[in-house]
Structure 1
Amino acid sequence: MRICVLGAGALGSALGGVLADGGADVRLLGRVAHMEAIAQDGLMLREGQRDRKVRLQAHTDAAAIGAVDLVIVLVKSFHTREAVMAARALVGPETTVLSLQNGLGHEDVLTEVVGRDRVIAGKTYVGGVMLAPGHVRVGTLGKETLIGELDGTVSARVRRIAAVFEAAGLAISVSTNILGVIWDKLLVNVATGALSGITRLPYGPLYAVPEVEECAIAAVAEAMAVAQAQGVTLATRDAREAWVKAAEGLPPEFKASMLQSLEKGSATEIDFINGAVVRWGERSGVPTPVNRALVACIKGIEASLGRDAAVLERAA
């Protein structure tokens, strides 16, 4: 099975690297500096205090890769449509497109671009942090990936994909309730993403503040109420479960993707995470004041970063 990870940043490189290290035929498609470092020196994966090098193909142009059997989409949520459109060379007659992105709504976008019959959905709890171009910290211990057909069937293609993940030592399950899976993963992102971004704290110190935990649990409880109002069946039974699960198997220095984005001065996926809870809450008639406040704080930080960049540009 020929696999391409579209959007091979921290998480995409971590996942693709582990798959390649387990024998899968993987290509990474991502930004220039990171891809050039991997093409030249290999991808360095750090787990715990140990580094290991993985050799795999890394590209910045989909045309150089051509059609593959599986495209794993891990671009930022707000780049989904343009990224997939630009990477149409990856999609052949038998290509399956799998979104493992954070948040809600990606499958609808992918369906519009490549067709519903090609799309399967999933979520992964694997973690990745960019240490330097070509060097990524990986968190896989106890971190499951779940995939499934949009119609809830267990197809041959889903079983084949699961077998590739298993061969690489990754925990994977095939779900007949992928919508519930998507919401369960959303709860984990709701628990830590915005709060990590606002406080600028990695997981160790973040989890040491009782008030942060209290706020996280309140945000998750709102999201659970929205999901239930939408008729979604959740595996998560208690809001604190999402808070605990978010940090399982990850080192104290691990940073949520939202914090990583802010540290780079780039936009976050807040609109597809806490923002999605607010939007679906409005549709369902469920109040979401905690998530609304978290969205406002992140939007304020993004605006501040943009203003600081503009000031620096004018001063230069």
Structure 2
Amino acid sequence: MAITIIGSGAIGGVLGAYLLRAGKEVAFCDIATDHVEKINKEGLTIEGPEETFTVHGKAYTPQQLVEKNEPLGVIFLCVKAHHTEAALKPFFSLMTSGTQVVSLQNGLCERQISKLVGAERTIGCFVNFSADYLEPGRILYGGVASLYLGELDGTISARILRLKAILQSWGPAKVTDNIWGYLWGKLSYAGLLYATALVDETMAAVVRKEELRDTLMELCSEILEVADKERVSPLGFDDWDPSLVYPRELRDKEKLNGQLNKLAERMASNKKTKSGIWRDLAVRKRQTEVDAQLVPILEIAESQGVETPLLSALVKAIKEIETEKRQMSWANLYELKKIYESLPEKAS
């Protein structure tokens, strides 16, 4: 089974490297010409918590891959959520009825992909390991974490079982009959990660601030309330348990604080101690995925009649940091806290 990695940076580069090292047929594709050239000349190096290794494979720019003019079998789509359509469009002519597009992205990209290429070609994927593109041909890998494959209709198909088997070369990939539950679970976690990027600090440092926890958990609850209205049951992963956060009236503060302490320990022990969102803002000085990841939640919330004052304020603050109208600061989080303290008590 030939696999084409579209977007061979952090996530795509790590998965492609592990599969290639295991003897799988992998082609890398990326818009960064210097990254493509480096892979072709010197290989792709993965720097992980347990090992550093280099693989040698074939890499292409999108134009080169189109000019190759060969049908695409399995596509691992690993680009930023807001680049989904632009990344897939050049390859429409290379897709056959058997082409499978696996979304290894943040947000609800499966909805967009299924509209672009058809639901029958779309496979959902929840991926939670951390990685950073450091420079051409070099990627920092945070280590193994959850990865679930799922059909959009909840069936356990032969094709996702085959992909699960292939991905064992990377780590413990699993299949699920509730991929939307994992995607919405991660969106609630994404709210927390975006909040940690409001300050130039580690993720663990923010989560350990007990005086901010009620605010942060209400932020996550807004997202989980939207999922509830969409009739999705969000699922937990890697020390993040949405059921301890929402419904609000069932929240056990002692249990939740214990879980958040565990989450902070996990964050602190990861080789990547700050989020990719922070890196986009502070290092790469580029747009985050907020428009493709959190803004759609605001749109769904409005259609469902759910109020999201904290999520709205978070999105506004992230956008202002993107445009340098606002600086990273603890004051941004305490601004959210002030909004939280002005809210009437949530009853459900």
Question: What TM-score does the superposition give when structure 1 sets the normalisation length?
Answer: 0.87
1:47-76 Cα deviation digits (max 9, x unpaired):
126421122222112323732321011111
Deviation for aligned residue 1:196 = 3.3
Alignment partner of 1:198: what SS?
Answer: coil
Deviation for aligned residue 1:90 = 4.6
Distance 2:140 2:75 in 1: 22
Distance 1:34 1:212 in 2: 40
Contact 1:189/1:246 (<8 A) preserved: no
Q: Kindly indicate whether residue 301 of structure 2 is the aligned counterpart of residue 273 of structure 1.
A: no
Q: Equivalent of 2:92, from 73, 81, 88?
A: 88
Match of 1:38 in 2: 39
Deviation for aligned residue 1:2 = 0.6
Q: After the TM superposition, which parts of structure 1 deviate over 6 Å for at least 4 consecutive aligned residues? A: none
In structure 2, relative to structure 1, the CA distance for the partners of 1:28 and 1:247 (3 Å cut) is farther
In structure 2, relative to structure 1, the CA distance for the partners of 1:252 and 1:172 (3 Å cut) is closer
Match of 2:28 in 1: 28
Alignment partner of 1:87: what SS?
Answer: helix
Distance 1:299 1:132 in 2: 25
Distance 1:90 1:248 in 2: 41
Q: Kindly indicate whether residue 128 of structure 2 is the aligned counterpart of residue 109 of structure 1.
A: no
Contact 2:46/2:52 (<8 A) preserved: yes
Q: Equivalent of 1:260, from 279, 286, 307?
A: 279
Contact 1:140/1:170 (<8 A) preserved: no
Q: Equivalent of 1:298, from 297, 306, 318?
A: 318
Match of 1:136 in 2: 139
Alignment partner of 1:171: what SS?
Answer: coil
In structure 2, relative to structure 1, the CA distance for the partners of 1:234 and 1:208 (3 Å cut) is closer
In structure 2, relative to structure 1, the CA distance for the partners of 1:78 and 1:169 (3 Å cut) is closer
> Which moves more between the two structures, 201-210 or 256-265?
201-210
- Given residue 156 of structure 2, which amino acid in structure 1 is its aligned partner? V
Work out which of the two has the higher radius of gyration on C-alpha atoms and give 1 or 2: 2
Match of 2:195 in 1: 195
Distance 2:244 2:130 in 1: 23
CA RMSD across the alignment: 2.4
Stretches of structure 2 lacking an aligned partner (at least 5 in a row)? 236-241, 246-255, 327-348
Query: What is the total number of aligned residue pairs between the two structures?
Result: 302
Match of 2:153 in 1: 151
1:232-278 Cα deviation digits (max 9, x unpaired):
11223123568965874762543322122222121111123332332
Contact 1:66/1:89 (<8 A) preserved: no
1:137-170 Cα deviation digits (max 9, x unpaired):
11233x111111111111111111111012x141
Distance 1:126 1:266 in 2: 22
User: Which structure 2 residues correspond to residues 61-80 of structure 1 after superposition, within 5 A?
Assistant: 61=62, 62-63=65-66, 64=68, 66-80=70-84
Deviation for aligned residue 1:207 = 4.0
> Which moves more between the two structures, 32-41 or 213-222?
213-222
Alignment partner of 2:173: what SS?
Answer: strand
Q: Kindly indicate whether residue 7 of structure 2 is the aligned counterpart of residue 7 of structure 1.
A: yes
Contact 1:42/1:134 (<8 A) preserved: yes
Distance 2:9 2:225 in 1: 33
Deviation for aligned residue 1:173 = 1.6
- Given residue 45 of structure 1, which amino acid in structure 2 is its aligned partner? I
> Which moves more between the two structures, 251-260 or 90-99?
251-260
- Given residue 238 of structure 1, which amino acid in structure 2 is its aligned partner? L
In structure 2, relative to structure 1, the CA distance for the partners of 1:86 and 1:244 (3 Å cut) is farther
Stretches of structure 1 lacking an aligned partner (at least 5 in a row)? 307-316
- Given residue 156 of structure 1, which amino acid in structure 2 is its aligned partner? A
Distance 1:36 1:9 in 2: 13
Question: What TM-score does the superposition give when structure 2 sets the normalisation length?
Answer: 0.79
Deviation for aligned residue 1:220 = 1.2
- Given residue 26 of structure 1, which amino acid in structure 2 is its aligned partner? V
- Given residue 128 of structure 1, which amino acid in structure 2 is its aligned partner? A
- Given residue 154 of structure 2, which amino acid in structure 1 is its aligned partner? G
User: Which structure 2 residues correspond to residues 125-274 of structure 1 after superposition, within 5 A?
Assistant: 125-141=128-144, 143-166=145-168, 168-192=169-193, 194-211=194-211, 213-235=213-235, 236-239=242-245, 248=266, 251=270, 253-262=272-281, 263-274=283-294
Distance 1:144 1:20 in 2: 20
Distance 1:178 1:297 in 2: 30
> Which moves more between the two structures, 284-293 or 271-280?
271-280
Distance 1:273 1:22 in 2: 33
- Percent identity between matched residues is 27
Distance 2:41 2:165 in 1: 30
Distance 2:50 2:183 in 1: 32
